């Protein structure tokens, strides 16, 4: 892991359905072109995550860099 990066969700097993345009910039760009079954590790700088406001309800502090591991289960 890169120094200074924060891993927010070490494990998360529930499926999340989303419209690509309704997520943080890091997910929007990171999943572009991914295929079903593909797994990607996304390292999102604050500019591509929740920025200077963070997301206090989820415990994400302002200007946090985040790391996600995403698997595409299906596409619609």
pLDDT of residue 20: 63
Give the tens place of pLDDT for each residue, 13-36. Answer: 666 666 766 789 998 888 888 888
Q: How far apart are CA 66 and CA 46, in angstroms?
A: 7
Task: Tell me the torsion sign for CA atoms 71, 3, 61, 21.
Answer: negative
Q: What is the dihedral of CA 9, 15, 20, 23, to 10 degrees?
A: -30
For the 6-71 domain, the top CATH level (class) is: alpha beta
Give the tens place of pLDDT for each residue, 48-67. Answer: 999 999 999 989 999 999 99
pTM, 2 dp = 0.70
What are the domain boundaries of the chain? 6-71
pLDDT of residue 12: 59
């Amino acid at each position: 892991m890169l120094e200074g990066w924060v891993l927010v969700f070490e494990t998360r097993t529930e499926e999340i359905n989303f419209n690509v345009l309704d997520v943080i910039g890091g997910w929007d760009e990171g999943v572009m072109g991914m295929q079903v079954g593909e797994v990607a590790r996304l390292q999102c700088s604050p500019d591509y995550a929740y920025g200077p406001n963070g997301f206090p309800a989820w415990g994400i502090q302002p200007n946090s860099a985040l790391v996600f591991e995403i698997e595409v289960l299906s596409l619609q």
